[in-house]
Structure 1
Amino acid sequence: MADVNRYYLINLQLFADDGTGEKTEKATPRRREEARKKGQVFKSADLNSAVILMAGTIAILATFPAMVSNLGDFTRLYILDRTLVDFDSGYAFFLLLETMKIIAKIVLPILMVTFLAALMISYLQVGFVMSSEALTPKLERLNPIEGFKRIFSKRALVELAKSLMKIGVTGYIVYTVIKKNLFILPRFIDMELTAAMSVLGSIIVEVAFKIGIVFIIIGVLDYIFQWSEYEKSIMMSKYEVKQEYKQTEGDPLIKSKQRQIQRQASMQRMMAEVPKADVVITNPTHFAVALQYQADVMEAPQVIAKGQDYLAFKIREIAQAHDVTIVENPPLARTLFYTADIGDLVPEDLYQAVAEVLAFVYKQKKKAF
């Protein structure tokens, strides 16, 4: 009953440590692993978009000369050099296939680069995560009160600020680039198709490149914000940390009780060996060491029990009850207590002293008979 009361007292103390349940402690590795298994990871969607935009822009810039050349060859070969007489349904179908081929030839490298960029930036942010937790239906998501809280939450305000910033930056960049190249636009009428495409493409790439740089800066800032919010979301209270420690390492009260039971069982086994002893050497009150010697099976006398203070008293008491000889030899008792454990043979340097004690015991037993 006392142990039960103590257990509840400890739990009340744990609750008292953090009665408000305020989460003030950093998440433990176990908490982080559990959150990851549930799919709770942090990443910046803006950083993903910015990297994909930059990768696509660089891919377009790298393949742009070949793109213009291929389109120019296609136009001259299949459109400009053909007359209306030759343009029948068969040629239209053939032209459709060739158009699909040229589009694939131009677009596929860009798509491949952006796809790899998306995989890379996602992996760098969250690693490899497989979880179906996010797909599990949750009724609390239908709660209108919680929905309003999310709409007017800190995260929603940050997302609104980012959206306004991106719209403003994008508009400003497009305006400045077009303003800088405004004098070129009327000349498109007199330009060849390939030249017009080259100029227009360079303008688009310039806009995309500048926007991409700004978006990457926004993405990095958003990544820091997402990390901060994630760390706050998985923080733990002091009580949760202690509860987790109890689950992983074991309840300290239970472990203490187990150790106590083990010590009691060990003591009982040791006391059960005392009646088998040939002699108990004492201090006479502070130490007691019980020795057993069987010449046919033992190389030297063996320590089968030892104790200090109360245990020494119990060993002497059991020895007296079973007519085991008790010999007072303080120096030998202390030396045996500190140099030999239960089950050990007597150290060689004590053979002589122990032999003299055993000889005395055997002599006393012979006189008794």
Structure 2
Amino acid sequence: MAEESGQDKTEEPTAQRMNKAREDGQIPRSQELPPAAMMVVATLFFTMMGQYLFSKMGGLFKAQLTFEPRALDKAELLPAIFGSAMVDGFLIVLPLMAVLYVIAVLSTTLAGGFIFSPHLALPKFSKLNPMSGLARMFGMDALINLGKALAKFLVVGAILLMSVMNNLNDLTNISQMDLGEAIKVSGTIIVDACFWLSLGLVLVALVDVPLQRHQLNKKLKMTKQEVRDEMKNSEGSPEVKGQIRRRQREILENKMMGKVKDADVVITNPTHFAVALSYDPTGDGAPLLVAKGEDGLAARIREEAKEHGVYLFEAPLLARALYFTTKLDHPIPEALYHAVAQVIAYVFSLNQSYGRGHEVVKPTPSIPDEMKFDANGVLMNT
């Protein structure tokens, strides 16, 4: 079969392919989502805490523009004063910086979730290949990223231009205001600009997130041959499947053998077949077939029955009829009610007369013609 080219990757990626890509760190990541989320949070922060923040910063600036007499006489105090002002300014903006840091981390995981992949930390020598570098620079992904960058530049530029034009009078007169009024006007302009910037960045992110998902899905698409190979590998080799079936059969047989000790009677062929029946005389149901086996398994059932004192009743036709017509843990067919009832009544009579010297006549169960099977499970000619 001729190999399918990369252009034939028309099949959607399977769950196994998606999980493998995730383990390798290939998940959708939007570079536009964190800035948008941070700008939205910054806008909310300035709206609620802006007056307090700008008031504090204004007081700090005003204090630094006031010269202390002792600082004029002792120049060595200037570094300490400057350092104290830097610390005070840092403490003022620290809450905003901490919130933005948390939002930056959380928003990064929104598109594809959080994952730690050691593969990303390993060096990739393929990136040193100049041909691969040229392909990344001039490929379709590079063109898409360039388009996104231009769109983002236009959106942000238009919003900033609009903000400047709307506040042009305040910006030109701000130098003539006193410090308190200038800070208040500046804060209003900043909050207004942040609001419109956040809307623009959110719009860019709403376009970028599904685009990243689409691009990743396109990269992970598979050819029909890849899908077939993956299905073959996931199913496993015949040897592995055989081992699984054998293990399942062993578990089922062990579970079945555990029920033999509680059976009321085991009907045998006498050597090739064995079926164990359980009956509750206080209930309304028919006897249940709790174990059955052929050849080696039949021998195990007989040994288990002997070990736990379960009566072995030799009736070849009845044993084969039960073996071929009744499933495990299912009631016996109605056509065999009379024959099985004779056997169970005989076994119960033996138990009741044990030690009393009473002789119990062993029955010869009568099997209907439609229930007479040979050792191969074929109905016998009558």
**TM-score between the two structures when normalised by the length of structure 2:** 0.64
Native 8 Å contact 1:38 1:134 kept in 2: yes
Matched, 1:164 2:150: yes
**1:183 is the counterpart of 2:169:** yes
Q: Distance in 2 between matches of 1:33 and 1:280?
A: 50
CA distance 1:246–1:78, shift in 2 (3 Å): same
Q: Which blocks of at least 5 consecutive residues in structure 1 are unaligned?
A: 1-14, 264-275, 282-288, 304-326, 359-369
Q: Which amino acid letter does the alignment assign opposite residue 149 of structure 1?
A: A
The alpha-carbon distance between structure 1 residues 113 and 279, as it changes in their structure 2 partners (threshold 3 A), is: closer
- The yes-or-no answer on 1:348 pairing with 2:356 is no
Query: % of aligned pairs identical?
Result: 26
Q: 1:91 to 1:139 in 2, by over 3 A?
A: closer
Matched with 1:129 is: 115
Q: Sort the Cα spacing of 1:335 and 1:148 in 2 relative to 1 into closer, same or farther, 3 A.
A: same
Aligned to 2:311: 299
- CA distance in structure 2 between the partners assigned to 1:112 and 1:280 by the alignment: 79
Query: Structure 2 vs 1, CA of residues 217 and 87 (structure 1 numbering), >3 Å: closer, same or farther?
Result: farther
2:117 partner SS = coil
SS in 1 for 2:18: helix
In 1, the alpha carbon distance for the partners of 2:18 and 2:243 equals 31
**Whole-angstrom distance in 2 between the partners of 1:85 and 1:340:** 101
Counterparts in 2 of 1:249 and 1:69: CA distance versus 1, 3 Å:
same
Tell me whether 135-144 or 155-164 shows the greater mean CA deviation.
Answer: 135-144
In 2, Cα distance between the equivalents of 1:56 and 1:78?
26
1:338 paired to 2:325: yes
Q: 1:92 to 1:34 in 2, by over 3 A?
A: same
Checking the alignment, whether the CA contact within 8 Å between 2:17 and 2:220 is kept in structure 1 is yes
Q: Note if contact 1:46-1:218 (Cα within 8 Å) is conserved in structure 2.
A: yes
Pairwise CA distance, 1:76: 4.3
Counterpart of 2:68 in 1: which secondary structure?
coil
CA drift at 1:255 = 3.5
- Deviation per CA, 1:281-316: give whole Å up to 9, x if none: 9xxxxxxx999999986513268xxxxxxxxxxxxx
Could you say which residue in structure 1 is the equivalent of 2:265?
none
Cα distance change of structure 1 residues 218 and 356 upon mapping to structure 2, 3 Å threshold: same
Matched, 1:220 2:206: yes
Pairwise CA distance, 1:339: 3.6
Superposed, 1:164-313 pairs within 5 Å as 164-251=150-237, 255=241, 278=270, 299-301=311-313
Q: Would you say 1:59 and 2:45 are equivalent positions?
A: yes
Cα 1:170–1:98, aligned 2, differ >3 Å: closer, same or farther? same
Alpha-carbon separation, structure 1, partners of 2:131 and 2:71: 69
TM-score by length of 1: 0.66
Tell me, in whole angstroms, the C-alpha distance in 1 between the residues paired with 2:66 and 2:211.
55
* Distance (Å, rounded) in 1 between the aligned partners of 2:10 and 2:314: 57
2:64–2:85 Cα contact (<8 Å) kept? no
| 2:4–2:223 contact (8 Å) kept in structure 1 | no
Aligned residue-pair number: 295
User: RMSD of aligned C-alpha atoms?
Assistant: 4.0
Whether 1:114 and 2:108 are equivalent positions in the alignment is: no
Is it true that 1:39 corresponds to 2:11 in the alignment?
no
Corresponding residue of 2:125: 139
Aligned partners of 1:171, 1:207: CA distance in 2, in Å? 11
Native 8 Å contact 2:10 2:223 kept in 1: yes
Pair 1:132–1:340, CA change in 2 (3 A): closer
d(CA) in 2 for partners of 1:98 and 1:132? 43
Kept in 2: contact 1:60–1:110 (CA 8 A): no
Kept in 1: contact 2:270–2:314 (CA 8 A): no
- Taking a change above 3 Å as real, the CA distance of residues 24 and 252 of structure 1, as seen in their structure-2 partners, is farther
1:71–1:102 Cα contact (<8 Å) kept: no
Partner of 2:84: 98
Tell me the SS of whatever aligns to 1:130: coil
Instruction: Give the CA deviation at 1:230.
Output: 1.0
Q: For residues 340 and 178 of structure 1, what CA distance do their matches in structure 2 show?
A: 84
Contact in 2 for aligned 1:70/1:102 (Cα 8 Å): no
Larger deviation, residues 148-157 vs 234-243: 234-243
Describe the shift of the 1:255–1:190 C-alpha distance in structure 2 as closer, same or farther (beyond 3 A): closer
Partner in structure 1 of residue 354 of structure 2: none
Cα contact 2:55–2:183 (8 A) shared by 1:
no
Matching of residues 5-20 of structure 1 within 5 Å: 19-20=4-5
- Residue aligning to 1:365: none
Distance 2:314 2:20 in 1: 53
| Conservation of the 8 A alpha-carbon contact between 1:44 and 1:219 | yes
Task: Report whether the alignment pairs 1:48 with 2:40.
Answer: no
Q: Is the 8 A contact 2:33 2:108 kept in 1?
A: no
* 1:174/1:207 contact within 8 Å kept: yes
Q: Is the 1:43–1:226 contact (alpha carbons within 8 Å) kept by the matching residues of 2? A: yes
Q: Which has the higher contact order (CA 8 A, sep 6+)?
A: 1
